[in-house]
Amino acid sequence: MERSNFKKILIALAFGALLSIAWMLSGCSSFKPLITDVAFQPSTISPNADGKNDVTHVFYRLSRSANLTVYFTDAHGKRYYLRKSRRRSAGKYDLFWGGVIPTHERYQDKYFDGIVLDRVLPDGTYTYTFEAVDDSGHRQVVTGHIKIENADTELPELRKFSLSQTIFSPNQDGIDDRVGITYYLNKKASEVLVYLLAPDGITKYPIDEVERNVPPGSPGIHYYDYDAGIDKRAEPPPDGTYTVVGEVTDLVGNHTMVTRTLTITEGGVPRADILNGVVDFSAKAVPLGGKLVFTATVENIGKVPIRTSGPPPGTVYHIGENFNTLAKRSGNTEWYEQPGVWRFGINFETNAGVPYPFRFAIGTEKDLVKRVIHGKTYYYLLPGHRGLVTGTIIIDQKQPKDHVYFWGGLIHEEVGIESFNNYVDPHEIYIGQP
């Protein structure tokens, strides 16, 4: 071999050795342990919310990015996973753990049928396993032991979780406008959530508890009154089939869930007005004992049907009467005030009794649709439709003054009167001698 070639070989070998040494000295990741410094402090816990060793502080370190799995194995070889192939970057990690494991298991007893989302492991000594796999497929496992004693494993349950109805029409017509939700809570809870879950499985609508003698989160019977926001004139969730979800978590982290199905139909804020804000009266002067006739048109300007009830258009009132006295005189109890019913009314300046004493259905039977709900017949004005209202008032009692203002209004009984439907088109009427 020539001398020059021999020197070249020596130089190449030396350069390769230097590269190897530099590579090793640089701390190449494949030579570092993937997971280190795993520790549980303390190694014995008693998760029962007494404030003593309820949790342990868990530490570990990853030298490079990896997928991490953490599980606990009991004396019978059963595994309970805390983490499953979770992506973690290099760094130091710590968490507080109180013996709680996610389960998502079906659970049923005499009073409860639902899902256990998380539960505290029962007493015993467990082998913990940390398993990390890096991007090159290198796998490392670290194990140890943790002891659990005096654990509170009693599950919190929303027992006999029930809905007052499964079909719900939040539109303020006084029929199926609300859903009552009840349950019995068996133990003290740190959090109870009741909400409506949309068909997309993501959107949630919270439902608030009605506070009574049993405080929220305390054992006992609890009640929720769900109106879908309609009482505050907010649009309810869109029509569809929803899931009512109840979740409860106790003081140590046991967490259960129960579900029921609820269908929303014809939900929406009802809206109507007096067409063009006009009420036509038959005369500007009426003799005592004479008749004052009016005509008006009501239009449903909302997106949901609105319910109405008699007295029907064309009804004759005496000026000393009102819809309640007329109902009593006629024997028709449907003419009394009803929650959710819309009626057209006439009021007058010298009226000292109930507001809008002369009330009428907001259309004739020809204008309305008839529905039978729960075995009873009701009448509705559909969205975009109009109802003609007429009526007569016999002015057979002398009034405190000769010139009296009369006006119209649209009443949503036991809900309210919109400002634009109140004191509509006042007319001054002269009441003369017989």
Each residue's pLDDT tens digit, 317-341: 999 999 999 999 999 999 999 999 9
Q: Which domain, by its residues, includes 180?
A: 158-264
| pLDDT beyond 60 at 93 | yes
Q: Are residues 172 and 292 in the same domain?
A: no
pLDDT for res 304 = 97
pLDDT for res 424 = 98
Q: Are residues 286 and 417 in the same domain?
A: yes
CATH number, domain with residue 354: 2.60.40.10
| Domain end marker among 232, 264, 296 | 264
- When pLDDT is cut at 50, 70 and 90, the band that residue 5 belongs to is low
Q: Mean pLDDT across the chain, nearest whole number?
A: 93
- When pLDDT is cut at 50, 70 and 90, the band that residue 30 belongs to is low
Both structure tokens of 355: 């507001």
Mean pLDDT of 415-433: 95
149, amino acid identity: E
| pLDDT beyond 80 at 110 | yes
- When pLDDT is cut at 50, 70 and 90, the band that residue 433 belongs to is confident
| pLDDT beyond 90 at 32 | no
pLDDT for res 21 = 43
Q: How many domains does the chain have?
A: 3
Q: Are residues 316 and 421 in the same domain?
A: yes
The answer to whether residue 115 sits within a structural domain is: no
| Domain end marker among 231, 264, 297 | 264
Question: Phi and psi for 420 in degrees, rounded to 5?
Answer: -75, -10
pLDDT for res 7 = 53
Q: Are residues 283 and 232 in the same domain?
A: no
Q: Are residues 340 and 257 in the same domain?
A: no
pLDDT for res 235 = 94
Contacts 24+ apart (CB under 8 A), 65-70: 65/89, 65/90, 65/134, 65/135, 66/34, 66/35, 66/132, 66/133, 66/134, 66/135, 67/132, 67/133, 68/35, 68/130, 68/131, 68/132, 69/129, 69/130, 69/131, 69/132, 70/128, 70/129, 70/130, 70/131
Predicted TM-score (pTM) of the model is 0.84
Residue 403 and residue 51: Cα distance in Å, rounded? 79
The answer to whether residue 96 sits within a structural domain is: yes
pLDDT for res 200 = 95
What is the greatest pairwise CA distance in the chain? 146
Each residue's pLDDT tens digit, 220-259: 999 999 999 999 989 999 999 999 999 999 999 999 999 9
In sequence order, the 6+-apart residues with CB closer than 8 A to the CB of 2 are: none
- 3-state secondary structure at position 24: helix
Instruction: Tell the burial category of 75 from Cβ atoms under 10 Å away from its Cβ (0-12, 13-18, 19+).
Output: exposed
Residue 68 and residue 200: Cα distance in Å, rounded? 31
The answer to whether residue 15 sits within a structural domain is: no
Q: In 74-166, which ranges are E strands?
A: 79-88, 91-97, 100-108, 113-120, 124-134, 139-148, 158-163
- When pLDDT is cut at 50, 70 and 90, the band that residue 299 belongs to is very high
pLDDT for res 396 = 95
The answer to whether residue 217 sits within a structural domain is: yes
Mean pLDDT of 156-181: 96
Both structure tokens of 27: 């701390």
